[in-house]
Amino acid sequence: MAIDRAGLNALMEITSRPELVFVRGQGAWLEDQAGKRYLDFIQGWAVNCLGHNAPVMVEALTRQANTLFNPSPAFYNQPSIELAKRIVGASCFDRVFFANSGAEANEGAIKLARKWGQLHRKGAYKIITFDHSFHGRTLATMSASGKPGWDKKFAPQVEGFPKADLNDLDSVRALIDDQTVAVMLEPVQGEAGVLPATAEFLQGLRALTRERGLLLIVDEVQTGMGRTGRLFAYQHAGIEPDIMTLGKGIGGGVPLSALCAREAVSCFEHGDQGGTYNGNPLMTAVGVAIFDTMTAPGFMESVNARGAQLSEGLKRLSAKWGMKGERGMGLLRALIMDRDDGPALVQAARDRAPEGLLLNAPRGNLLRFMPALNVSADEVDTMLAWLDELVAQVRR
């Protein structure tokens, strides 16, 4: 199949893309227009939690498509009720609002915190976030993000997001003033290079926010839904946040996200929050199928086993090549290299023949690994063996 050049030119240019078009996928593998297969350790940036075209998702989508697409969020629908009930039952939260993207869920969290500040903290609106954080691509979530250079894009920024340093409680404390309403963070900073917040820091942050009467918001768009080896990453620290956002894995490849909050914080009034497609049964039916798969006996144990396998394999590879180790949680991991050949490895992996490998380099000296949560032991071993060969190729 030839690449449709006119079709490519019709798409808005927003990023550099390789000269290939993916046409089908199954599990950990993708296939392009020429029939070449690729072992996918990106999975839509941690989106495809059950891999490509997971049968349980296909079945749920097909069944719901034959029943009801979208009655409008002005009415209840059964799949959204079922998914909300599951999230509440498995977490410390009492209420769920469904949206379509992680950025939209985070925008909702910002709005909810500011609304709560109007009602309970004399109009306080500032939300402390963190350097190198990533919360989305809306104007507010870009302003909340600490990604270098983003303060200059689309200026002026939305005001009210002072930046602290991850794992430095004193840096948070120094930013709190009368206008502060919340602290918001990713339990693991993915875009920054897979930087985990320590359990001690999260526990200290929870104690500090309670002491000062502030909300604690965890952005689990990337870390939620089993990615770190627990259903939600905040559970590793044994804390209870006030607000949580979910995205990516909750829909497994369909547009679905969630804003979750404790009852005492759920203060939206009618008309404050909404969305044309939010909580539609077509997407939430898939979410229910994913949730039930992840909470089935043995699933999370397998995620942790594959995470340990990947971690140990990356450590061996790092030691062999004089790199600087690896870090992460569960199946969100990074290899820390001793030089900036991440982009070269990404390209060499993609160009590998007869089968390619899809990797991500969020920094020049980092490779990030986000395989499907049901990736097999053989597929992890295959990736590690190929990566070893590719390092030799790039560094010879």
Q: Which member of 32, 97, 248, 268 is catalytic?
A: 248
Task: Judge whether 232 counts as a catalytic residue.
Answer: no
Please say whether the beta carbons of 108 and 273 come within 8 A. yes
Please say whether the beta carbons of 380 and 234 come within 8 A. no
CA distance 165 to 222: 20
Q: Which member of 134, 201, 232, 268 is catalytic?
A: 134
Task: Judge whether 248 counts as a catalytic residue.
Answer: yes
Q: At what angle do helices 281-294 and 55-65 cross, to 10 degrees?
A: 150
Q: Which member of 32, 40, 219, 242 is catalytic?
A: 219
β-pairing, 366-369 vs 356-358, is unpaired
Cα three-residue angle 172-109-291, rounded to 5 degrees: 110
Task: Judge whether 134 counts as a catalytic residue.
Answer: yes
**Separation in Å, CA 305 to CA 249, 271, 308, 374:** 19, 45, 5, 11
What sign results for the dihedral spanned by CA atoms 271, 215, 127, 95? negative
Active site residues: 134, 219, 248
